[in-house]
């Protein structure tokens, strides 16, 4: 009995000690400064999520200008804005000249950490996330990410994330991050062929289904009263192909891959073009079919009258 009481008391004391430590750890983690570097092609940008406690008497507008002035000493900041959240303020800066080299799938970026995070205290906790396309391979300072304290890359949709968690001082000791990247051309070509093949699949599907719809109405003219319903029913599969095409675009990494490989404007053509073409073809086939059905039914009616 005494052993049970002692065990219970010991467990209770441990719980009292551990709970505040866990709470403090969670607080420190949620209070850390978060910096996201988004290397995604046309809209490369930095996002700073700064806890409200760090602002002190500094207004959000002043903080935005303070960070922007620091970044402007190395890059050309195209535009900047901020938005307030429950526990932090998110500052977004679009960088026009982030790449030192962007040619034939070879990418180079130089990031001085003093300019990136030098405005924070050296002992301040920070989470640095670098988000790049799934279709790229990157090295930092010609080393593997893990040797510099970055966690194993986490893949999500079109992007891959490299995460560093530590103190600002640990980043400042590395001085400059030299990021050398390359696009996996073989994989990108394969995915591009699959992506554009959706157009051919859409053409074949629309031709086949439009013909079946036409034959059904001509064989059973009384179904013409339900033509709209039948028309929408036959368009379900082409709509599913368009949905699958968009999902493939995002999941394969092409959404960000095109933006990194091609110049602005051309990347948008490759991203939007095939999807837009499939969307245009869908009504085009079935509207033409509706016209052909009406014409043939009219001709058949005239033949019967004669």
- Mean pLDDT (the chain) is 82
pLDDT tier at 301 (50, 70, 90 boundaries)? low
pLDDT, one tens digit per residue, over 6-53 is 444 334 433 444 444 444 344 444 578 999 999 887 788 999 999 988
pLDDT in tens, 225-255: 777 788 788 889 999 999 999 999 999 999 8
Domain extents in the chain: 32-183, 186-305
Indicate the pLDDT class of residue 223, thresholds 50, 70 and 90.
Answer: low
Look at residue 93 and tell me whether its pLDDT is greater than 90. Answer: yes
pLDDT tens digits, 177-195: 899 989 999 999 999 999 9
Average pLDDT over residues 284-300: 70
Q: What is the 3-state secondary structure (H, E, C) of the chain?
A: CHHHHHHHHHHHHHHHHHHHHHHHHHHHHHCCEEEEEEECCCCCEEEEEEEHHHCCCCCHHHHHHHHHHHHHCCCCEEEEEEEECCCEEEEEEEECCCEEEEECCEEEEEEEHHHHHCCCCCCCEEEEEEEEECCEEEEECCECHHHHCECCCEEECCEEEEEEEEEHHHHHHHCEEEEEEEECHHHHHHHHHHHHHHHHHHHHHHHHHHHHHHHHHHHCHHHHHHHHHHHHHHCHHHHHHHHHHHHHHHHHCHHHHHHHHCCCCHHHHHHHHHHHHHHHHHHHHHHHHHHHHHHHHHHHHHHHHC
Model confidence band, residue 89 (pLDDT cutoffs 50, 70, 90): very high
Q: Label residue 113 by pLDDT band (50, 70, 90).
A: very high
pTM recorded for the entire structure: 0.76
């Amino acid at each position: 009995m005494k052993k049970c009481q002692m065990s219970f008391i010991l467990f209770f004391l441990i719980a009292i000690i551990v709970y505040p430590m866990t709470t403090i750890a969670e607080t420190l983690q949620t209070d850390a400064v978060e910096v996201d570097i988004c290397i995604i092609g046309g809209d490369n940008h930095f996002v700073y999520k700064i806890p409200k406690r760090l602002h002190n008497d500094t207004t959000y507008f002043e903080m935005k200008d303070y960070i922007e002035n620091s970044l402007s000493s190395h890059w050309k900041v195209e535009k900047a804005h901020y938005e307030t959240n429950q526990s932090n303020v998110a500052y977004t800066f679009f960088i026009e000249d982030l790449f030192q080299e962007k040619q034939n799938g070879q990418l180079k970026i130089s990031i001085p950490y003093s300019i990136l995070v030098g405005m924070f205290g050296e002992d301040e906790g920070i989470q640095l996330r670098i988000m790049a396309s799934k279709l790229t391979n990157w090295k930092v300072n010609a080393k593997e990410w893990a040797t510099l304290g970055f966690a194993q890359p986490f893949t999500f949709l079109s992007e891959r994330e490299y995460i560093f968690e530590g103190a600002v001082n640990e980043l400042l000791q590395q001085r400059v991050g030299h990021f050398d990247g390359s696009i996996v051309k073989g994989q990108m070509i394969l995915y591009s062929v699959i992506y554009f093949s959706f157009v051919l699949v859409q053409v074949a599907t629309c031709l086949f289904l439009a013909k079946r719809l036409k034959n059904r109405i001509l064989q059973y003219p009384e179904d013409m009263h339900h033509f709209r319903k039948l028309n929408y029913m036959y368009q379900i599969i082409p709509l599913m192909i368009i949905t699958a095409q968009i999902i493939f675009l995002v999941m394969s990494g092409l959404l960000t891959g095109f933006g990194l490989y091609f110049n602005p404007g051309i990347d948008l053509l490759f991203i939007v073009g095939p999807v837009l073409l499939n969307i245009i073809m869908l009504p085009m086939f079935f509207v033409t079919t509706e016209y052909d059905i009406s014409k043939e039914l009219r001709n058949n009616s005239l033949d019967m009258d004669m």
